[in-house]
Structure 1
Amino acid sequence: MWTVIFIGIYIVLTIVIVISIIIHGARPTKSLAWLLAIFAIPVGGILLYLLLGRNRRKNKLIRLKKDLFNKLPKPQDSHINVFDGKYGKLMTHGYATSHFPPTPHNTLQLLKDGSTTFNTIFNALENAQQHIHIQYYIFEEGELADRLLALFEKKIANGVEVRMIYDGIGSFSLSKKYIKQLIKIGVEVYPFLPFKFGRYFSSLNYRNHRKIIVVDSKIAFTGGINISDKYLKGQVGLGKWHDMHLMLKGPSALHLNQVFMTDWYLVSGKVLQPLQYLEQDEFEPSKNLVQIVAGGPDDDFPVLEQTYFSIINMAKNYIFITNPYIIPGQALIRALLTAAISGVDVRLLVSENIDNTVVSWSVQSYFELFLKAGIRIYLFPDGFLHSKIMVSDDAVSSIGTANLDDRSFEQNYEVNALVYNKEFAKLLKQDFLQDCAIGKELNYTEYIERPWGKKLKEGIGRVLSPLF
């Protein structure tokens, strides 16, 4: 009796899911793979699909972005750059998808590796007068977390409001004891989609990968660095983590604060009262044109993938990319190959050591094709290179949280800063070339002679890449 009922429910559920995949599937190849998994793996295939396979863009968990942005202050005409010139379409795309225009009068400071970054962050936090907004994918206990706890307690005693978001899975190791300490001293703290059976069970695979700090809506930080002592002391078996971060002052700090406020609304249900836009003459004069681009699975389009795609397609002379997780989809593969074959100097800087062996196989599985097209690939040998950088033609740069993989484009909430500035691009270019100089450049002729076992591992990594 119960067996018959179970089989009936299973058949109905399978039919519903199959119809859903056919109607809402984002990509034919991916849809076919899930259909094969469901029919080949009874029960298990359905469970995997429910956890990892649903098209979030068609089945949104939240529908708040437009409503919330209508409640936020609109940028004044004086803060909106005319969308013209070589990157006019890129600017227009960022504004249409993320609602942030490129703005002038931003002061930028490039921060490399943990020591420099955290010294600068703590200096800014010490000078907070109104609020501290902090949001991280990985927030681990240790020396840095203890310093933050002590600083938060001091600033709250002086009337500063402190709000914190941590990802429920990325910061899974964060203890209840530490969270209780934060609450006790007055920090408003919420997890982003913690693992729970029920409503959020279906969202286990959708994470907030953003790293944002905003101080008084005037100073902001974003980039690849998380709150973890491994940026200072290294990690056993992997070595020191190397990364890039960015400090911003000016209108771009306000925009990063609005990104935080949208996430704050999701986790807390509270709408923060934003600071109004300052007049242009209240910002330090500069030629740094910056545009904040934020994207996530609740957007209608893969914003960050389209941003990277546009930068690559617009490259005339060179495109240099630093990223630990280069597992591109077909669109980005074609863009990179087309650029290289057309004579653009395309170079990739990838960490030789990666924190996940199977992910490393997947990244390496694309090397042979890239090398054949003339793309130059360098392996960074010292520790783990975690930066997410793209720079092109001494004109445009991207620095932020998004990797070049399906997870960042389809499943994670990410944020990048696009900088339209010659001097800043040259600075990133110089740093890229310095890192390449200490790395090992791969040779196509030698690489195709790699052992058969390595090729097999790479094939396994590519097949499993949709699960990463």
Structure 2
Amino acid sequence: MLIGILIALYVIIALSVVVSLLINGVRPSKTLAWLLAIFTIPVGGFLLYLMLGRNRRKNKLFSLKSDFYKKLEPSKTYEQVSDLQEYQKIIQLIQETSQCPVTQQNQVTLLQDGKATFEEIFDALEDAQDHIHLQYYIFEEGVLSERLMDIFERKVAESVTIRLLYDGIGSYSLSKKYLKRLKKIGVKAEQFLPFRFGRFLSSLNYRNHRKIIVVDNKVGFTGGINVTDKYLREDPYPGKWHDTHLKIDGEATHFLNQIFLTDWYLATEEDIDLSQFKIEGTINKGTPVQIASSGPDDDFAVMEQVYFSIINSAKKYIYITNPYVIPNDAIMQSLQTASLSGVDVRLLMSATTDIKLVDWCVRAYFESYLKAGIKIYLYTDGFLHSKIMACDDKIASIGTANLDNRSFQHNYESNAVLYDADLCKQLKKEFFEDCKKSTLLDDHEAFNNRPWWDKLLEGMAKLLSPLL
């Protein structure tokens, strides 16, 4: 009798999920896959759907975001820049989806690896007079965190307001002792989506992957580098982390701050007086920059759209540096179409990542690239963690978003899109320098003859690509 009741209850719940899928499903293939999982894997398929399959954009999990946007002043209307007409569609896309126009009064500095990046960060923090906002996916204790603690203590004593937002999963190792020390000296430190078993299904799969620092709404940092000593010393596996970051002096920093303040409100509901944060522009005709941001509570997959648009805009070349290239159909087709149309398409990825399963999944797509004439470089001098896209010596993107479903659908991400020839040429130069430390894969026939067990592992991992 009890078993019959449980079965009937499961059928009712499963049917309700089916109705939800049919109403809210985005892609027919994805909807069909979840339907098959629910009816072929008793209980397990249903639980997987609850954890990984629900359409957060439709459900608006974080309704607080719309409340916060009402507090923001309308973005300043910027005139169209005549020499950027070629990219007006991309500019409009980011303006509509991320509420960030092209800002021109910026000085941008490319930063390579941890030592150079943190020297610039520490100098900027020392100069803070009003506020310091920090947001990180990974914030680990060590040499870097202690240096930050020392700076925080001095700046708080100078009446500088410091807010630190860290991800509940990415920074899981951050100890209560360190957090108590922060709060004792007056730093406001909060978790984004704390991991709790009571909220396991609703929060585990949606993380804040952003790396942002804002100082006095004037100087900002973003890119791939987290607060971890892995950038200062060689990790036993997969080696020293090689990464790229960005320092922005000028107007675009205001929009990095706006992203931070939105996330801070989602985490704390603190009613901050936003009128104190004004756009600062003191650099005349500097680097045009747009800040693109996305999250699971957005109406559109912004990062996917931005990457897709940049790839499709390429006429001469598109060079991509990213450790996690696990493309969906749209990104794969755009890459293949560009290459088959005569565009020089090159992918620079890490020979090994920090997750073996991801290695297999990344390699599962190599054959499709090689068929289309796309060149693949595998970086062997440590773990390549940069997220860069450079195109035609005209447009580039640097930020936190990988080319995978997790960055497109599940994570909160932020990228800086740069419309500057000199910076693109510098990125291209550094791309080829890294290629010299990499293994080139360009022989489709040779790669196709790899052992069958490698193909099996890659094929099995590829099945999990929507979840990685």
Same fold (TM over 0.5): yes
The one-letter amino acid of 1:435's match is: D
Which residue in the other structure is 2:380 paired with?
381
Residues 443-465 of structure 1 show CA distances to partners (whole Å, capped at 9, x for unaligned) of 22221111111111110110111
Please give the root-mean-square deviation of Cα atoms over the aligned residues, in Å.
1.6
Residues 174-218 of structure 1 show CA distances to partners (whole Å, capped at 9, x for unaligned) of 111111111111111111111224456412200000000000110
After TM superposition, list the pairs within 5 Å mapping 1:139-150 onto structure 2.
Answer: 139-150=139-150
After TM superposition, list the pairs within 5 Å mapping 1:163-242 onto structure 2.
Answer: 163-199=163-199, 201-242=201-242
Once residues 197 and 4 of structure 1 are traced to their aligned partners in structure 2, the CA distance between those partners, rounded to angstroms, is: 29
2:237 aligned with 1:260 = no
Q: Which moved more, 1:247-256 or 1:230-239?
A: 230-239
Inter-CA distance 255–345: structure 2 relative to 1 (3 Å threshold):
same
Q: Which moved more, 1:39-48 or 1:319-328?
A: 39-48
Which residue in the other structure is 1:430 paired with?
429
The answer as to whether partners of 1:233 and 1:240 remain within 8 angstroms in 2 is yes
After TM superposition, list the pairs within 5 Å mapping 1:322-333 onto structure 2.
Answer: 322-333=321-332
Q: Secondary structure at the match of 1:71?
A: coil
2:301 aligned with 1:302 = yes
Q: Which moved more, 1:445-454 or 1:113-122?
A: 445-454
2:396 aligned with 1:397 = yes
Once residues 3 and 127 of structure 1 are traced to their aligned partners in structure 2, the CA distance between those partners, rounded to angstroms, is: 67
| Structure 1: gaps (5+ residues) | none
Q: How many residues align?
A: 466
The Cα shift of 1:318 comes to 0.3
The answer as to whether partners of 2:140 and 2:174 remain within 8 angstroms in 1 is yes
Which residue in the other structure is 1:288 paired with?
287
Structure-2-length-normalised TM-score: 0.96
Which residue in the other structure is 2:21 paired with?
21
Residues 318-349 of structure 1 show CA distances to partners (whole Å, capped at 9, x for unaligned) of 00000000001000100000000000000000
Q: Which moved more, 1:242-251 or 1:72-81?
A: 72-81
Inter-CA distance 80–44: structure 2 relative to 1 (3 Å threshold):
same
Inter-CA distance 447–304: structure 2 relative to 1 (3 Å threshold):
same
The Cα shift of 1:299 comes to 0.6
Which residue in the other structure is 2:38 paired with?
38
Which residue in the other structure is 1:416 paired with?
415
The answer as to whether partners of 2:78 and 2:101 remain within 8 angstroms in 1 is no
Which residue in the other structure is 1:85 paired with?
85
The one-letter amino acid of 2:451's match is: P
Q: Secondary structure at the match of 1:73?
A: coil
Q: Secondary structure at the match of 1:299?
A: coil
Which residue in the other structure is 2:70 paired with?
70
Which residue in the other structure is 1:8 paired with?
8
Which residue in the other structure is 1:277 paired with?
278
Which residue in the other structure is 2:361 paired with?
362
2:126 aligned with 1:102 = no
Once residues 98 and 239 of structure 2 are traced to their aligned partners in structure 1, the CA distance between those partners, rounded to angstroms, is: 36
The one-letter amino acid of 1:424's match is: L
Q: Secondary structure at the match of 1:248?
A: strand
The Cα shift of 1:84 comes to 5.6
The answer as to whether partners of 1:83 and 1:91 remain within 8 angstroms in 2 is no
The answer as to whether partners of 1:90 and 1:310 remain within 8 angstroms in 2 is yes
Inter-CA distance 461–200: structure 2 relative to 1 (3 Å threshold):
closer
Q: Which moved more, 1:8-17 or 1:90-99?
A: 8-17
The Cα shift of 1:141 comes to 1.0
Residues 388-411 of structure 1 show CA distances to partners (whole Å, capped at 9, x for unaligned) of 000000000000000000000000
Inter-CA distance 82–65: structure 2 relative to 1 (3 Å threshold):
farther
Q: Which moved more, 1:451-460 or 1:74-83?
A: 74-83
The Cα shift of 1:273 comes to 2.5
The Cα shift of 1:238 comes to 1.2
